[in-house]
Amino acid sequence: MAESAAARAAEPSRRYLDPAVVARLGHLDVRARLVVEGFISGMHRSPFHGFSVEFAAHRAYMPGDPLKNLDWKVLARSERLLIKQYTEETNLRAHLLLDQSGSMGFASRGASMSKLEYARSLAAALAYLMLGQQDAVGVMRFAEHAQEFVPARSVRSHLDIVLKTLAHGEAQGRTRLGPALHELAERIKRRGLVILLSDLMDKPSEVLSGLQHFRHRGHEVIVFHILDPEEIEFPYSDTATFVDMESGDRMTTEPWEIAGRYHEMFEAWRERYSRSCREQRVDYVPLDTRMPFDRALLAYLEKRARLL
């Protein structure tokens, strides 16, 4: 079948969505712009809309009011025509939480970028996308504790601040997601959307407790679980020495002897996150650093559509 004209037209921009190409772009603002513009050019329409989060009050129906805002339950109960009013009807308030613990610095031999660079690029693209829709975006970097917090704002000039914050610092420190997430949940006062970008390399019980804290405070939560392909596939065969990137501990072993048990434990670990997030109504998006950014954004938007 011949390729459509629309697909051919989109191809020049879509080439920027490959992580191997994005990794060669030096500045985070350039990465974000090319990823998002390439993504949207293939969509033919804006994929993003605002987010009503808070019921405010009723008022009497007036001729010309949209019927979709009519409170049908009140009408059925009392035959009164009342309109539901909301606060924050059009603008989303989103908070990007970037894990910068030591394990996020890992990049296998064939990877085009580390988990941290992938997370940064994806977070930058999300910020560019949301601020372009006049939604408010904030960002927080953390490892063992919160390192830098930028409150959510919706003005376009805020993008520079967000990108500079995302680009700052290296992967270092131990992973202590649970305490860090509880700390962040207390700092974000107004309800909105919380997007966590992390490899989740910590005890699931502690991480899930932190995510539950956000849900308890009324936030919608999306988790991008970012891993390196070699962490998923464990493709090693020769005698190897593995080094913990956070503690420096070393272990020499024969990978073929432990591969079966590794895969079993890895799948159980990831499945626990997937299942528990589903139970907590947290959207869980598994990614690896080979995944093109358009697919990552589509995964986000598919999850996002369930919130509207």
Q: Does the pLDDT of residue 64 top 80, yes or no?
A: no
Task: Read off the pLDDT band of 275 (50, 70, 90).
Answer: very high
Residue-range domain boundaries for the chain: 6-46+92-305, 58-87
Query: Across all residues in the chain, what is the average pLDDT?
Result: 81
Percentage of residues of the chain with pLDDT beyond 90: 39
What would the DSSP string read from start to end of the chain? -PPPHHHHHHHHHHGGGSHHHHTT---HHHHHHHHHHHHHHTTSS--------EEEEEEE--TT--GGGB-HHHHHHH---EEEEEESSS--EEEEEEE-SGGGG---TT-SS-HHHHHHHHHHHHHHHHHHTT-EEEEEEESSSEEEEEEEE-STTHHHHHHHHHHSS-S-S---HHHHHHHHHHH--S--EEEEEE---S-HHHHHHHHHHHHHTT-EEEEEEEE-HHHHH----S-EEEE-TTT--EEEE-HHHHHHHHHHHHHHHHHHHHHHHHHTT-EEEEEETTS-HHHHHHHHHHHHHTT-
CB 102 within 8 A of CB 246: yes
Question: pLDDT higher for 48 or 291?
Answer: 291
Residue with the bigger pLDDT between 211 and 48: it is 211
- Tell me the CATH architecture of domain 6-46+92-305: 3-Layer(aba) Sandwich (3.40)
Does residue 81 have a pLDDT over 90? no
- Mean pLDDT score, 212-232: 94
pLDDT, tens digit, for every residue of 7-43?
434 444 444 577 887 888 777 888 888 787 766 665 5
User: ∠ CA(284), CA(107), CA(98), 5° rounding?
Assistant: 45
Tens digits of residue pLDDT in 133-153: 888 999 999 988 888 899 999
10 Å CB burial of residue 118 (0-12, 13-18, 19+) is buried
Where does the pLDDT of residue 112 fall: very low under 50, low under 70, confident under 90, or very high at 90 and above? confident
Comparing 80 with 85, which gets the higher pLDDT?
A: 80
Distance of CA 80 to the CA centre of its chain: 42
Query: Higher-confidence residue: 170 or 4?
Result: 170
Residue 49 has pLDDT above 50, yes or no: no
Neighbours of 261 (CB within 10 A): 9
pTM: 0.77
**Are the CB atoms for 158 and 114 separated by under 8 Å?**
no
Query: What pLDDT was estimated at residue 206?
Result: 93
